[in-house]
Structure 1
Amino acid sequence: MNQEIVENIVLLVIVTLISVLQNMSFAYKVENESKNQQSKTFQRTGSPAFEKVYTANQNCTDAYPTFLAVMWCGGVLCSQAPAAFAGLMYLFVRQKYFVGYLGEKTQSTPGYIFGKRIIFFLFAMSLAGILNYYFVIFFGNDLKDHMSVFSKILSSLLLIP
């Protein structure tokens, strides 16, 4: 494999693999709670604890493809490091959402809102990368270095609650 290509995506691959481990952890929690029920088969309904775990897992699963798409697009088209950082932040927030959902439902709200902000940031990075691509085609000017610096500065702002 071409070393230059690997250097441009290695952080995104690492975040993706961490997210897979997180998904497996969530699925394990659903399976474990399902086994605590008296039924021998997997059901979508059951005890309130099972329904909370199942719903939290389903909510995280629903947003997962969008997260992966914008993280990879932002990382490949704009800048890898800020996209990977935002991806790690998203995984942290998703964990906070999952755990918060298992408690009071109001505890999951900050994780949900923060997750939306990170998805928007990654979407904006993707859009900037696409615009830069067409800017190079039509005007011959590549702004990728400027966008990389700008996205690194903005990614640090993601830490502000």
Structure 2
Amino acid sequence: ILLKYSVSPPSTTGPDEFNRVYRAQANCAEYFPLFITALWTSGIFFSEGVSSLCGLLYLYGRLQYFWDTLAPLYFCANVLWALIGCSALGVFLSFSKLYLDVDLRQTASAALGLD
């Protein structure tokens, strides 16, 4: 990136295009641990399919963020919140089955006629 935009190290500022790409890369690195944790937790405790879809949407949004403006960043934040919600719900359902001996997943499936 530095050579492409003729920015000499250790400087981290330059043309607007460089600043946007540099900030997008830094932002991506800052959110990566949260994304990976939410993705794995959601995949293990909730649903692999839903987690995979959210993960792909998040990565697509990040790619668009590198090319575009801030709109894809807000989309990625919403997908990340969905992953965190799925993770929390999955952990809650697993703990309720393990510690309370209540299978809420089975109860919900029976109530909705999905059995």
Alignment-mate amino acid for residue 29 of structure 2:
T
How many residues align structurally? 108
Name the larger-Rg structure. 2
Report how far residue 38 of structure 1 moved: 5.9
> For 1:24-63, what aligned pairs fall within 5 Å after superposition?
31=1, 34-36=2-4, 37=6, 39=8, 41-63=9-31
**Unpaired segments ≥5 residues, structure 1:** 1-30, 101-106, 149-161
Deviation sequence 1:45-81 (CA, Å, 0-9, x none): 2233222211111112211111111111000111111
Contact 1:78-1:144 at 8 Å conserved across structures: no
Higher helix share: 1
Contact 1:99-1:108 at 8 Å conserved across structures: no
TM-score with structure 1 setting the length: 0.59
Cross-structure match for 2:45? 77
Higher relative contact order (CA 8 A, sep 6+): 1
Report how far residue 117 of structure 1 moved: 1.2
Answering whether residue 89 of structure 2 is matched by residue 128 of structure 1, we say: yes
- Partner of residue 90 from structure 1, selected from 58, 63, 67: 58
Identity of aligned residues (%): 26
TM-score with structure 2 setting the length: 0.80
* Cα distance in 1, alignment partners of residues 32 and 43 from structure 2: 16
Deviation sequence 1:1-25 (CA, Å, 0-9, x none): xxxxxxxxxxxxxxxxxxxxxxxxx
**Unpaired segments ≥5 residues, structure 2:** 110-115
Cross-structure match for 1:108? 70
Report how far residue 144 of structure 1 moved: 4.6
Across the aligned residues of Structure 1 and Structure 2, the Cα RMSD in angstroms comes to 2.2
Deviation sequence 1:116-152 (CA, Å, 0-9, x none): 111111111111111112211233233456789xxxx
Report how far residue 84 of structure 1 moved: 0.7
